A and B are shown apart, each in its own frame.
Chain A
Amino acid sequence: DIQMTQSPSTLSASVGDRVTITCRASQSISSWLAWYQQKPGKAPKLLIYKASSLESGVPSRFSGSGSGTEFTLTISSLQPDDFATYYCHHYNSYFYTFGQGTKLEIK
C-alpha cells in the first residue's frame, strides 16, 4: 500500500507569510495528487489537482508542485481565510490515500 507522509502536522504563521506544506509518497504516484483545505464542520475543498493544476475559483496565491514522490503546496501570501487544515490526497480509480493533515494556525 502507498503511504502519504505530510509535514508539518502543525504550522504557525502570520498574515502575509509564505508557507509550504510537504507531502511524500512511499512510492512513485506520478502526478496523481490533490490538495484540499478543510474548515471545521465543512467538507474538504479542492485547491489543487494533478499535482499542480489550480481548481477553478481558487485564488492564485495557492500553488502546487512536484511529481513522483515529493509534492508541495505553497501559499504565497497568507490571508485570514486561509487558516484551516490542509490534506494531501493520492487518488486513482483503485484507491485513495490521504496525508495526516496540516493544521495552519495564526501565530
Chain B
Amino acid sequence: EVQVVESGGGLVQPGGSLKLSCAASGFTVSGSAMHWVRQASGKGLEWVGRMRSKANNYATGYAESVKGRFTISRDDSKNTAYLQMNSLKIEDTAVYYCTWGLGERYQWGQGTLVTVSS
C-alpha cells in the first residue's frame, strides 16, 4: 500500500527550531520530486518548498515566506524527506503536509501540526 506519513510536529516557542520527517512506503522515492505544503487553521493551502530528485541534482526551491529559515533534505535510502524549520514565527503555525511525486500525480500524507507559541 502506498503511504506517506509525516512526523515531528509539536509546540515550539517563537525563534525556536523543529525538524519534520516525511516517510514514504509502498514505492521508491529515488526518482521523485517532493514538496512541503502547509495550511493554517481556517486558511487555504500554501506551498512551502520542494526538493527534486537525484537526477535533477536534488535542486531545492522555497516560498519567499520561509526562504532562509527552512531547509528541505532527503535520504532516498530511507525513503524519507525532512523539513528543518529555524527561526520559527507565530505565523508558521499550521498543519504541514509532505507530498511525493508518483507518476502523473502526487501522494499526500495526513499532515503534522506545528504550533509556534510562547
The residues of A with any CB-CB pair to B shorter than 8 Å are 34, 43-44, 46, 49-50, 53, 55, 87, 89, 91, 93-101
Contact = CB atoms under 8 A, between A and B. Distances in A.
B108 interface: yes
Interface stretch (B12-20, B39-47, B73-81, B85-93): B39-47
A89 B104 contact: no
B109 A95 contact: no
Contacts, number: 52
B44 A101 contact: yes
Interface of B: 33, 35, 37, 44-47, 50, 52-53, 56, 61, 97, 101, 104-106, 108-111
Given A50-B104, A95-B35, 6 more contacts: A91-B35, A93-B50, A94-B50, A95-B61, A98-B44, A98-B46
Nearest to B42: A40
Contacts of A100: 44
Given A43-B109, A49-B104, A98 B56 contact: no
A49 B108 CA distance: 13
B45 A43 contact: no
A44 B106 contact: no
Contacts of B101: 93
Given A44-B45, A98-B45, A93 B56 contact: yes
A44 B108 contact: yes
